Structure 1
Amino acid sequence: MSANVGLLALLGALVACGVYLILERRVTKMLLGMILVGNAVNLLLLTVGGRSGAPPVYGPQSKAADMTDPLAQAMILTAIVITMGLTAFVMGLGYRSFMFTSRDEVEIDPEDAKVVAKRQAAEDGRDDSDDDDDEDEPDGDDSDTHDSDTHDSGDDSGGVDSGGVGPDHDVGSAEGAPR
């Protein structure tokens, strides 16, 4: 059995393009990269599965040497279904992310940026580590870090509970006076 060099080169190009797209920051490009890599793997399984055209069953009229390997065909069908499910899942995640942020780009994690900065500082021979022991909050301007986590209820109270409902107010009273 001889290898089809042109098809193998095409598979290499598909995998290379797929990996490049997976490493991008936009979710749609990541999804397209996953689809390309999945299709390249399916074509690779089809290529190594044997010659085409022969039946995958052994009968009285066929020889065992002429038979096509049925395992490759079954694996391709399974891989197609798994790729379809994974594609639907990533599309759902991308849609949900887009609805929350109105952007299709994955942001840089503040903890990852801190690790990179410490590593670069260690490579340069200096120590720029922070002096505070608070590991819960990233360094920098913390004035707007939690703005995206709060939900706007539509009122302009500035975060003050003006509705009379809360742990310090009696819900049953008409005026909402504190207990």
Structure 2
Amino acid sequence: MTASLTLVIVAAVLFGSGIAVMLERSLTRVLIGFLLVGNGVNLFMFTMGGEPGLAPILVDGVDPAELSDPLPQAFILTAIVINLGITAFMLALIYRSWWLAQLGEAGDLIGDEDEIAEDAEEAADLIRSSAEDERAIQEVLDASDEDGGRA
């Protein structure tokens, strides 16, 4: 197995620059660093996969030594999916931190007092309406008891 020196150097530069950028305090730079490290690792796994060969399907007349190794390709696909999931999570963290920074000292409490008062009024209305419903049902039951069930 021989690996291209150029690809190994590019993978090392991506990995090193990604680590350097990840050491910053900004979440955006941490995300960019994470993406660089992920791409560097994928490129490194690609170069370690060896020389390209035939498709890894065994048929009659094919020498197994001429086949390419499918395992690094599976690792790279798995790493891409994991990288995408962590990137989505980091983007959600970045958005949430930006949102909280825009709100200032009040944080998430802005507008909650009005909503609590509205919820209390709705609950009181529901209690009143259920009490009226129970009263109406009881009147119907009392009226049917007075009639002796003949109505």
Cα deviation, 1:32-84, whole Å, max 9, x if unaligned, reads 11111111111111111121242122221321111111111111111100100
Structure number with the higher helix fraction is: 2
Q: Secondary structure of the residue that 1:57 maps to in structure 2?
A: coil
- Give 5+ residue unaligned stretches, structure 2: 118-151
Q: Secondary structure of the residue that 1:51 maps to in structure 2?
A: coil
Amino acid at match of 1:59: V
Distance across 2 between alignment mates of 1:71 and 1:150: 47
Q: CA RMSD in A?
A: 2.5
Task: Report what 2:131 is aligned to.
Answer: none
Q: Aligned residues: percent identity?
A: 39
Distance across 2 between alignment mates of 1:96 and 1:54: 48
Task: Report what 2:49 is aligned to.
Answer: 49
> Could you say if the C-alpha distance between residues 84 and 75 of structure 1 is closer, same or farther in structure 2, counting changes exceeding 3 Å?
same
Task: State how 1:8-19 maps to structure 2 within 5 Å.
Answer: 8-19=8-19
Instruction: State the 1:3 CA deviation.
Output: 2.5
Task: State how 1:21-100 maps to structure 2 within 5 Å.
Answer: 21-100=21-100
Structure having the higher Rg: 2
Distance across 2 between alignment mates of 1:67 and 1:154: 64
> Could you say if the C-alpha distance between residues 154 and 77 of structure 1 is closer, same or farther in structure 2, counting changes exceeding 3 Å?
closer
- Which fold has the larger relative contact order, with Cα–Cα distance below 8 Å and residues 6 or more apart in sequence? 2
Distance across 1 between alignment mates of 2:98 and 2:74: 36
Q: Secondary structure of the residue that 1:47 maps to in structure 2?
A: helix
Runs of 4+ in 1 over 4 A off after TM superposition: 147-150, 152-155
Cα deviation, 1:7-54, whole Å, max 9, x if unaligned, reads 111111000110011111111111011111111111111111121242
